[in-house]
Amino acid sequence: MSNDSTNNKPFRSQAWLGGVDRDGFIHRSWLKNSGLPDDAFDGRPIIGICNTFSELTPCNAHFRDLVEHIKRGVLDAGGTPLEFPVFSCGETLLRPSAMLFRNLAAMDTEEAIRGNPIDGVVLMCGCDKTTPSLVMGAASCDLPTLVVSGGPMLNGRFRGQEIGSGTHVWKFSEDVRAGKMDSNDFLAAESGMSRSPGHCNTMGTASSMASMAEALGLALPGNAAYPAVDANRNRLGRLSGRRIVDLVHEDIRPSQILQRPAFENAIRVNGAIGGSTNAVVHLLAIAGRVGVDITLDDWDRVGHDVPCLVDLMPSGRYLMEDFCYAGGLSAVMKRIENLLDRDALTVNGHTVGDNLEGVECYNDDVIRPLDQPLTETGGIAVLRGNLAPDGAVIKPSAASPELMQHHGRAVVFESLEDFKARVDDPDLDIKADDIMVLKGAGPKGYPGMAEVGNMPLPAKILEQGVRDMVRLSDARMSGTAFGTVVLHVAPESTAGGVLALVETGDQIRLDTQSRELTLDVDDAELANRREYLTTPEPPMSGGYQKMYFDHVEQADRGADLDFLRGCRGAEVPRENH
């Protein structure tokens, strides 16, 4: 069997498929039952295509077609493509939270890559958690890796207006509860919002993470924005299939790309696009897999002052289809080029600076010039204080400016069930300048840190014409959501954080400018309250949820499982027969 002619090392897959012996015979023979010819294993790199297709993950339901274009690209370049499935961590249907299973999907990805005759891997990502979970798993193996995202849906349309997936769900729902929209119109909007294959067409978590993959250098230019049904998405898939074969020959691995400059570039890009707060926990987790010491403070230091240039929902007006044809992520990166490390390596073998040569923006309304930003500070603000000693986050570009400095009375909900039972009670003691506080929604508490932090406002408040209040929790929120929402409070309430001690009537001070989040209760009173705290029980007595509860880290560390941090490599496992 042949060796790699470029670096003169045997391909990893040859440990399974090389050699004229019993083991080589068995492995080759089984793979030949699909019709593969003899030369599929003779000197060709085996490219694993990690597919998160599932009809229960609607964002990725078109991957059966997209994977064929990737396979053709692999064949074009002289590789042998072998598709394999991993757990599809769909955001839309999976309960209690897709975030609970992100780490499970990462484990599945890591072990599937390591345990199979794979020389390089293409990660088929789309729905929110499929991108970080696959990247985390692949990073812990450190074989040549390339991301192909599934692309966003076409712009939503409903009765003459463009509507954004997620963003308009929250808006229309509030309008129904305020009596401004009837339920028939609300239900009629369903079909108009999701009118093609693909993931959310707003700058939600799926689009943000596709952008992060491109900004990190793990995907080819154009990956973030091409709609799922645009021929360019299939073309990108084919080119990616070709390129992964080159990456194997060149032996370029994630550890060479995922260096500190790449993460800092991604943090800055997230600010410029008005990206999801979920990108914070995901990039922290990915950095933990490759041993790069990125912290919450880096998010604030590097990204907070980057202006938001992309006028997309939920922060702005437009949608991903508009973003694509305005020039996509490359146009954004070109506009903030002086803020980026231009020498960072990307999967196409070129640097960030090389990739930005000759890039133009084609619509200044969608991707604004630097001197006409949507907001002056688009990055994530990291808050600290006695209420969040390990940090909390807020997204200024999606918040109400007048609420960014606020001192108000806490109205506490002990759980999501408590919130749902009382939020629309006419007797609920709440005013528009109060602060809504939700407990029990963090990594351990939910479990899985669900996207429930953007609590719907009480009906009695909506009827007054109010559309935003300060909301605070240890939860996450959908990247498609908006509002003055403080998230990811660490430590969470279930882990004994000060959040667990907050009572209705307490005063809370939020000052985004000074990064302050303070509970105005003295230490002696907090110590007294702590005496009455009970130790929470795991959600299940066994199984994955018990393991998750016992080992999940807090949000400020990326909410990975403690024993999954780090790169374990892809040394060939011992023989199976």
- 546 with 428, same domain: the answer is yes
Short-list 153, 166, 167, 116, CA closest to 138: 116
Location of structure tokens 């027969």: 577
Task: Confirm whether 165 is domain-assigned.
Answer: yes
Question: How far from 164 is each of 11, 192, 346, 519, CA to CA, in Å?
Answer: 46, 10, 31, 36
Domain holding 185, by residue range, is 157-195
Residue 7: inside a domain: no
Is residue 567 assigned to a domain?
no
> By the 8 A CB rule, do 269 and 332 touch?
yes
Sequential pLDDT tens for the chain (577 residues) = 344 445 567 899 999 999 889 988 999 999 999 999 999 988 899 999 999 999 999 999 999 999 999 999 999 999 999 999 999 999 999 999 999 999 999 999 999 999 999 999 999 999 999 999 999 999 999 999 999 999 999 998 988 888 888 888 888 888 888 888 888 888 888 888 888 999 999 999 999 999 999 999 999 999 999 999 999 999 999 999 999 999 999 999 999 999 999 999 999 999 999 999 999 999 999 999 999 999 999 999 999 889 999 999 988 999 999 999 999 999 999 999 999 999 999 999 999 999 999 999 999 999 999 999 998 888 899 999 999 999 999 998 889 999 999 999 999 999 999 999 999 999 999 999 999 999 999 999 999 999 999 999 999 999 999 999 999 999 999 888 889 999 999 999 999 999 999 999 999 999 999 999 999 999 999 999 999 999 888 899 999 999 999 999 999 999 999 999 999 999 999 988 8
- The string of DSSP letters for 285-340 reads HHHHHHT----HHHIIIIITTSPB-B-BTTTSSB-HHHHHHTTHHHHHHHHTGGGS
Claim to verify: residue 260 and residue 311 sit in the same structural domain: yes
Domain-located, residue 9: no
Is 18 among the domain residues? no
332 and 404 co-located in one domain = no
The secondary structure of residue 442, as a DSSP letter, is S
**β-bridge pairing 435-438 and 405-413:** parallel
Q: What are phi and psi of 4, to 5 degrees?
A: -65, 120
Residues 86 and 143 in one domain: yes
Indicate whether 385 and 534 sit together in one domain.
yes
Q: How far apart are CA 179 and CA 299, in angstroms?
A: 40
In terms of domains, do 102 and 217 share one?
A: yes
CATH at residue 211? 3.40.50.2300
CB 331 within 8 A of CB 360: yes
Domain for residue 367, yes or no? no
Regarding whether 495 and 348 lie in a shared domain, the answer is no
Q: Bridge-partner residues for 487, per DSSP? A: 393
- Backbone torsions φ then ψ of 561, nearest 5 degrees: -80, 140
Question: pTM for the complete prediction?
Answer: 0.95
Q: Are residues 300 and 427 in the same domain?
A: no
| Residue appearing with tokens 């070129």 | 350
d(CA 518, CA 386): 5
Q: Are residues 504 and 521 in the same domain?
A: yes
**300 falls within a domain:** yes
- The domain that contains 518 carries what CATH number? 3.50.30.80
DSSP string, 397-420: GGS-GGGSEEEEEEEEESSHHHHH
Cα gap 306→447, rounded to integer Å? 33
> Same domain for 189 and 202?
no
Listed residues 177, 195, 213: the one ending a domain = 195
Sheet bearing 120-125, strands edge to edge: 80-85, 46-51, 120-125, 145-149
Q: Are residues 320 and 461 in the same domain?
A: no
- Verify that 262 and 273 share a domain, yes or no: yes
Residue 366 inside a domain? The answer is: no
Tally of domains within the chain = 3
